[in-house]
Amino acid sequence: MAHSRQRRLFLGMAMLAFLAIGPARAAQSAPERAALDLMPVPESVNLRDGRFRVDDSLSVGGQAAPGDRAFGAAARFMSRVAARTGIFLKQDFLAARGSAADGAVRYEFTRPGKLEPLEDESYSLIVNPGKVVLSAPTDIGVLRGFETLLQLLSSDQAGYYIPCVEIIDRPRFTWRGLLIDSGRHFQPVEAIKRNLDGMAALKMNVLHWHLTEDQGFRVESKVFPRLHELGSDGMYYTQAQIREIIEYAADRGIRVMPEFDVPGHSTSWFVAYPEFASAPGPYAIERRFGVAEPAFNPADERVYPFFDKFFGEMAALFPDPYLHIGGDEVEGRHWDANPAIQAFKKKRGLADNHALQAYFNTRLLKILTRHGKKMVGWDEIFQPGLPTDIVIQSWRGTEALVESARKGYQGILSNGYYIDLCQPAETHYLNDPIPSGSTLDEAQRKLVLGGEATMWSELVTPETIDSRIWPRTAAIAERLWSRPSVRDVGDMYRRLAVVSLRLEELGLTHLKNQGMMLRRLAAGPDIGPLEVLAQAVEPLKNYQRHSQGVTYTSLSPLTRFVDACAPESMAARDFRIKVESFISSGDRESAQELRKTLTAWKNNHTLLLPLIARSPALKEIEPLSLTLAEAAETGLTALAHIEKGEKPSPDWAEGGRGKLNEAAKPMAHAELAVVRAVGRLLEACAGPAGRGPVRDIM
Amino acid sequence: MAHSRQRRLFLGMAMLAFLAIGPARAAQSAPERAALDLMPVPESVNLRDGRFRVDDSLSVGGQAAPGDRAFGAAARFMSRVAARTGIFLKQDFLAARGSAADGAVRYEFTRPGKLEPLEDESYSLIVNPGKVVLSAPTDIGVLRGFETLLQLLSSDQAGYYIPCVEIIDRPRFTWRGLLIDSGRHFQPVEAIKRNLDGMAALKMNVLHWHLTEDQGFRVESKVFPRLHELGSDGMYYTQAQIREIIEYAADRGIRVMPEFDVPGHSTSWFVAYPEFASAPGPYAIERRFGVAEPAFNPADERVYPFFDKFFGEMAALFPDPYLHIGGDEVEGRHWDANPAIQAFKKKRGLADNHALQAYFNTRLLKILTRHGKKMVGWDEIFQPGLPTDIVIQSWRGTEALVESARKGYQGILSNGYYIDLCQPAETHYLNDPIPSGSTLDEAQRKLVLGGEATMWSELVTPETIDSRIWPRTAAIAERLWSRPSVRDVGDMYRRLAVVSLRLEELGLTHLKNQGMMLRRLAAGPDIGPLEVLAQAVEPLKNYQRHSQGVTYTSLSPLTRFVDACAPESMAARDFRIKVESFISSGDRESAQELRKTLTAWKNNHTLLLPLIARSPALKEIEPLSLTLAEAAETGLTALAHIEKGEKPSPDWAEGGRGKLNEAAKPMAHAELAVVRAVGRLLEACAGPAGRGPVRDIM
Best residue of B53, B289, B512 to probe chain A, by most A CBs closer than 10 Å: B512
Strands of A306-405, DSSP E: 322-324, 374-378, 391-394
Which of the two residues, B6 and A98, has the higher pLDDT score? Answer: A98
- The average pLDDT across A484-490 equals 97
**Taking 60 as the threshold, does the pLDDT of residue B694 lie above it?**
no
In terms of Cβ atoms closer than 10 Å to its own Cβ (0-12, 13-18, 19+), residue B15 is exposed
Question: What confidence score (pLDDT) does residue B249 get?
Answer: 98
- Gap from B159 CA to chain A (nearest CA, Å): 5
HSE-CB of B391 using CA atoms within 13 angstroms: 26
CA distance B127 to B146: 12
**Taking 90 as the threshold, does the pLDDT of residue B4 lie above it?**
no
CA distance B161 to B178: 32
Q: Residue B501 and residue A511: Cβ atoms within 8 Å?
A: no
How many other β-carbons are positioned within 10 Å of the β-carbon of residue B694?
A: 16
| Nearest residue to A3 via CA among A184, A179, A177 | A184
**Taking 90 as the threshold, does the pLDDT of residue B55 lie above it?**
yes
Mean pLDDT, all residues of chain A: 92
**Taking 60 as the threshold, does the pLDDT of residue A27 lie above it?**
no
- Gap from A425 CA to chain B (nearest CA, Å): 19
CA distance A610 to A619: 11
Q: Are A231 and A268 in contact (CB under 8 A)?
A: yes
| Nearest residue to A632 via CA among A687, A672, A669 | A672
Helix or strand holding residue A515 (H, E) = helix A512-522
CA distance A21 to A672: 11
How many other β-carbons are positioned within 10 Å of the β-carbon of residue B9?
A: 12
Nearest CB among B463, B501, B520 relative to A519 is that of B501
Q: Are A424 and A568 in contact (CB under 8 A)?
A: yes
Question: What confidence score (pLDDT) does residue A99 get?
Answer: 55
Which of the two residues, B178 and A382, has the higher pLDDT score? Answer: B178
Reported ipTM: the value is: 0.93
Q: Residue A95 and residue B516: Cβ atoms within 8 Å?
A: no
Instruction: Give the helix ranges, DSSP H, for A419-470.
Output: 425-429, 442-447, 465-469
> What are the tens digits of pLDDT across the range B193-210?
999 999 999 999 999 999
CA distance A374 to A368: 7
CA distance B257 to B293: 26
| Nearest residue to B291 via CA among B326, B324, B330, B262 | B330
How many other β-carbons are positioned within 10 Å of the β-carbon of residue B421?
A: 23
Q: Are B163 and B47 in contact (CB under 8 A)?
A: yes
**Taking 60 as the threshold, does the pLDDT of residue A134 lie above it?**
yes
Q: Residue B285 and residue A95: Cβ atoms within 8 Å?
A: yes
Q: Residue A86 and residue B559: Cβ atoms within 8 Å?
A: yes
Question: What confidence score (pLDDT) does residue B15 get?
Answer: 34
CA distance A358 to A371: 20
User: What percent of chain B lies above the pLDDT cut of 70?
Assistant: 93
AA identity, residue A24: A
Residue A362: alpha-carbon gap to chain centroid: 32
CA distance A391 to A108: 33
Catalytic residue among B213, B329, B426, B568: B329
> What are the tens digits of pLDDT across the range A209-268?
999 999 999 999 999 999 999 999 999 999 999 999 999 999 999 999 999 999 999 999
Q: Residue B519 and residue A497: Cβ atoms within 8 Å?
A: no
Contacts of B157 in chain A (CB under 8 A): 613
Reduced to 3 states (helix: H, G, I; strand: E, B; else coil), residue A250 is: helix
Strands of B395-460, DSSP E: 410-413, 448-455
Pairing status of strand B123-128 against strand B159-169: antiparallel
Question: What positions of A carry a catalytic annotation?
Answer: 329
> What are the tens digits of pLDDT across the range A493-526?
999 999 999 999 999 999 999 999 999 999 999 9
Contacts of B94 in chain A (CB under 8 A): 233, 285, 555
CA distance B365 to B363: 5
Backbone angles phi, psi at B292, to 5 degrees: -85, 155
In this prediction the pTM is: 0.94
Which of the two residues, B22 and A410, has the higher pLDDT score? Answer: A410
Question: What confidence score (pLDDT) does residue A380 get?
Answer: 87
Q: Residue B155 and residue A614: Cβ atoms within 8 Å?
A: yes
Q: Are B676 and B573 in contact (CB under 8 A)?
A: no
AA identity, residue A273: Y
Question: What confidence score (pLDDT) does residue B20 get?
Answer: 34
Question: What confidence score (pLDDT) does residue A338 get?
Answer: 97
Question: What confidence score (pLDDT) does residue A614 get?
Answer: 94
- The average pLDDT across A528-544 equals 97
Question: What confidence score (pLDDT) does residue B112 get?
Answer: 97
Question: What confidence score (pLDDT) does residue A149 get?
Answer: 98
| Nearest residue to A260 via CA among A322, A203, A170, A323 | A323
Best residue of A516, A562, A563 to probe chain B, by most B CBs closer than 10 Å: A516
> What are the tens digits of pLDDT across the range A396-420?
888 889 999 999 999 999 999 999 9
Contact residues for B251 (Cβ-Cβ < 8 A; gap 6+): B69, B72, B73
Q: Residue A94 and residue B190: Cβ atoms within 8 Å?
A: no
Give exposure, B462-485, as e/b (b: 16+ Cβ within 10 Å). bbbbbbbbbbbbbbbbbbbbbeee
Helix axes B650-663, B622-644, angle to 10 degrees: 150
Question: What confidence score (pLDDT) does residue A97 get?
Answer: 57
Nearest CB among A160, A284, A524 relative to B616 is that of A160
Question: What confidence score (pLDDT) does residue B317 get?
Answer: 98
> What are the tens digits of pLDDT across the range B318-351?
999 999 999 988 889 999 999 999 999 999 999 9
Best residue of A69, A85, A94 to probe chain B, by most B CBs closer than 10 Å: A94
- The average pLDDT across B599-626 equals 98
- The average pLDDT across A155-175 equals 97
Pairing status of strand A255-260 against strand A131-138: unpaired
**Taking 90 as the threshold, does the pLDDT of residue B384 lie above it?**
no
Nearest CB among B189, B504, B617 relative to A516 is that of B504
Contacts of A83 in chain B (CB under 8 A): 520, 557, 559
Best residue of B51, B69, B89, B94 to probe chain A, by most A CBs closer than 10 Å: B94
- Gap from A192 CA to chain B (nearest CA, Å): 12
Q: Residue A617 and residue B284: Cβ atoms within 8 Å?
A: no
Strand partners, B108: B135
How many other β-carbons are positioned within 10 Å of the β-carbon of residue B269?
A: 29
Question: What confidence score (pLDDT) does residue A691 get?
Answer: 42
Residue B436: alpha-carbon gap to chain centroid: 23
| Long-range contacts of residues A545-551, Cβ cutoff 8 Å, at least 24 apart | A545/A459, A545/A669, A546/A6, A546/A9, A546/A289, A546/A458, A547/A9, A548/A666, A548/A669, A550/B88, A551/A288, A551/B88
- Gap from A502 CA to chain B (nearest CA, Å): 7
Nearest CB among B86, B238, B287 relative to A92 is that of B287
Nearest CA in chain A to B68: A234
> What are the tens digits of pLDDT across the range B500-518?
999 999 999 999 999 999 9
Q: Name the pLDDT band for A572 (thresholds 50, 70, 90).
A: very high
CB pairs under 8 A between A and B: 151
Nearest CB among A525, A559, A615 relative to B501 is that of A525
Question: What confidence score (pLDDT) does residue B276 get?
Answer: 98
Helix axes B489-504, B189-201, angle to 10 degrees: 140
Pairing status of strand A60-62 against strand A44-54: unpaired
- Gap from A697 CA to chain B (nearest CA, Å): 32
Q: Are A456 and A181 in contact (CB under 8 A)?
A: yes
**Taking 80 as the threshold, does the pLDDT of residue A8 lie above it?**
no
- The average pLDDT across A50-58 equals 97
- Gap from B84 CA to chain A (nearest CA, Å): 7
Q: Name the pLDDT band for B131 (thresholds 50, 70, 90).
A: very high
- The average pLDDT across A624-644 equals 97
Backbone angles phi, psi at A476, to 5 degrees: -70, -40
**Taking 50 as the threshold, does the pLDDT of residue B146 lie above it?**
yes
**Taking 60 as the threshold, does the pLDDT of residue B240 lie above it?**
yes
Q: Residue B501 and residue A524: Cβ atoms within 8 Å?
A: yes
**Taking 70 as the threshold, does the pLDDT of residue B420 lie above it?**
yes
Nearest CA in chain A to B512: A512
Q: Are A600 and A593 in contact (CB under 8 A)?
A: no
Which of the two residues, B527 and B385, has the higher pLDDT score? Answer: B527
Helix or strand holding residue B340 (H, E) = helix B339-348
Question: What confidence score (pLDDT) does residue A35 get?
Answer: 66
Residue B237: alpha-carbon gap to chain centroid: 22
| Nearest residue to B137 via CA among B129, B149, B126, B145 | B145
Mean pLDDT, all residues of chain B: 92
CA distances from B407 to A188, B50, B442 (A): 48, 52, 14
- The average pLDDT across B469-498 equals 98
Q: Residue A557 and residue B234: Cβ atoms within 8 Å?
A: no
Nearest CB among A67, A189, A617 relative to B85 is that of A617
Pairing status of strand B448-455 against strand B410-413: parallel
> What are the tens digits of pLDDT across the range B101-114?
789 999 999 999 99
Q: Are B258 and B318 in contact (CB under 8 A)?
A: yes
- The average pLDDT across B392-413 equals 92
Q: Name the pLDDT band for A688 (thresholds 50, 70, 90).
A: low
Longest dimension (CA), chain B: 82
Any idea how long chain B is? 698
- The average pLDDT across A44-61 equals 96
Pairing status of strand A410-413 against strand A448-455: parallel
Any idea how long chain A is? 698
Contacts of A523 in chain B (CB under 8 A): 155, 501
Backbone angles phi, psi at B473, to 5 degrees: -65, -20
Question: What confidence score (pLDDT) does residue B399 get?
Answer: 86
Nearest CB among B155, B241, B515 relative to A615 is that of B155
CA distances from B474 to B195, B204, B479, B481, B495 (A): 12, 9, 9, 10, 10
How many other β-carbons are positioned within 10 Å of the β-carbon of residue A223?
A: 11
Nearest CA in chain A to B89: A556
- The average pLDDT across B132-140 equals 98
Question: What confidence score (pLDDT) does residue A65 get?
Answer: 84
Reduced to 3 states (helix: H, G, I; strand: E, B; else coil), residue A640 is: helix
CA distance A94 to B231: 11
**Taking 90 as the threshold, does the pLDDT of residue A6 lie above it?**
no
Residue B507: alpha-carbon gap to chain centroid: 17
- The average pLDDT across B14-43 equals 52
Instruction: Give the helix ranges, DSSP H, for A586-645.
Output: 588-614, 622-644
The 8-class DSSP code of residue B15 comes to H
Contacts of B524 in chain A (CB under 8 A): 501
Strand partners, A376: A324, A391
For chain A, the 3-state helix, strand and coil shares in percent, each to the nearest 5, are 45, 15, 40
Q: Residue B511 and residue A504: Cβ atoms within 8 Å?
A: no
**Taking 80 as the threshold, does the pLDDT of residue A345 lie above it?**
yes
